[in-house]
Homo-oligomer: A and B are copies of this chain.
Amino acid sequence: MAVTINDIAKAAGVSPSTVSRVISNNPRISSATREKVLKIMKEMDYHPNVIARSLVNKSTGIVAVLIPSNTEKAFQHPFYPEILRGITSAAYKNQYKILISGASDIKEEKAIIRDFTRNGLVEGIILLTSRVKDSAIAALKKIDFPFVVVGRPVNENEVNWVDNNNFDISYDLTSYLISQGHNKIAFIGVSSQYIVTLDRLEGYKKALQDNNIAVNENLIVEGKFMNDTGDNLMQRIFERGEKPTAIIACDDFLAFGAIKSLVEKGIKVPNDIAVAGFNNVPLCDYFTPSLTSVDVNAFDLGAKAFEMLMIYIKSHVKSFNRAIIPARLVIRNSTLRG
C-alpha cells in the first residue's frame, strides 16, 4: 500500500539503513546520498510509519488526557476545553499527540487507566481534575506510571501537579470585597469532594479573620460546585435568615444563578448585593451585570501540565513537582456600586 523505507532504498539504490539514517539526520551520511535519498522520498511522497518506529523506539509520542468521570458532565464548562487547548498546544510544539478519553463512571475510568498504562501506546497521562479520594491517582502511583494532575491533590508531595494558589486568589478576592466596605460576605459552592473549593473557602476565612470579621457559618453554603445551581444555594442562605451584602461563588455559573435568583426577588446587583465568581468564563463580560471574577489561566494550566509531564517522562531523576499558575482578579460591574 503505502510507500515504505524499502521502496525508497530500492529506488535510490541504497540500503534501508541508509534511508533510515537520512531520515534521522545522521551526520555520517554523505551529502550526495543524502540529497539523492531526500529527493526520492519527496518524489514518492514517503512518510515514515510511526507505528513501526514506535515499536523499536519504545516511545510513541502519545500522551493521554483522562477526563475523570465526575468531570464528564461538567465538560461543557469552558474551563475544561481551555485546559485541553493548552495541553494540545504544548503537545504540538513538542511533536506529541494527545489521546483523550472520557470515563462515564469509576469502573470505566479504572478500565481505561489499566489499558493506557499497559498497552504500550501512551507514555504518560494527564488527569484533568483531582478529587479528594482519587482512585485514578492512587492507581497511577501504585504502578509508577508517569502522570500529572491539574488541581492540587491531597497527597500533594507525592504527585506532580499544576494549579493556581486557590487559597491566595480567594483571599485576594475576599480582601477586595472587604475593602469595598462589605462585612457580611457569603461563600457559596463549597464541596468536600473538591479540594479547590476547600482551598478557596480557607482563603476566604483567613481574609475575614485578618480583617477582624467573624466567620459566620450560616453564610457558607455547600454545593456541588459546577453541578448545582446558584439560585438553589442562594435560597438556602435566605432560609437561614441571613442578609449578606456580598456573595462569592466558587464558580461563575453559580454566580450567574445567584444573580438570577436575586434579580427575581427584586434585589439589585451590585447595589443591594455584590456578587463575584471564579474562573472568568467568557460570559462574564456579556452577563448583566458583567461579573467580577478571577481568571485562572486555564490555558496555561494545561500547557504547564503537559510540559511537566514531558520532564517527568524524559528525566531519569525521580522527583515530585508542582507548578503554580498565577491568576488575575478581573473587576467588573457586579461588585462596583454606582
Contact = CB atoms under 8 A, between A and B. Distances in A.
One complex includes copies of this chain to the number of 2
B50 A121 contact: yes
Interface string A258-300: 0110011000000000000000011100111000000000000
A257 interface: yes
A320 to B, nearest CB: 23
Interface in A223-248: 229-230
Contacts of A286: 229-230, 253, 256-257, 260
Residues of A in contact with B, size category: 35 or more
A2 B287 CA distance: 54
Interface string A22-54: 000000000000000000000001011111101
Contacts of A120: 2, 49-52
Residue of A80, A98, A263 with most chain B CB atoms under a 10 A cut-off: A98
A75 to B, nearest CB: 5
Nearest to A117: B47
A141 interface: no
A193 to B, nearest CB: 21
A101 B93 CA distance: 12
Nearest to A289: B260
A18 interface: no
Given A49-B55, A51-B55, A51-B120, 13 more contacts: A47-B114, A51-B60, A52-B55, A76-B282, A78-B78, A80-B81, A85-B102, A89-B102, A97-B121, A98-B101, A230-B286, A260-B287, A288-B288
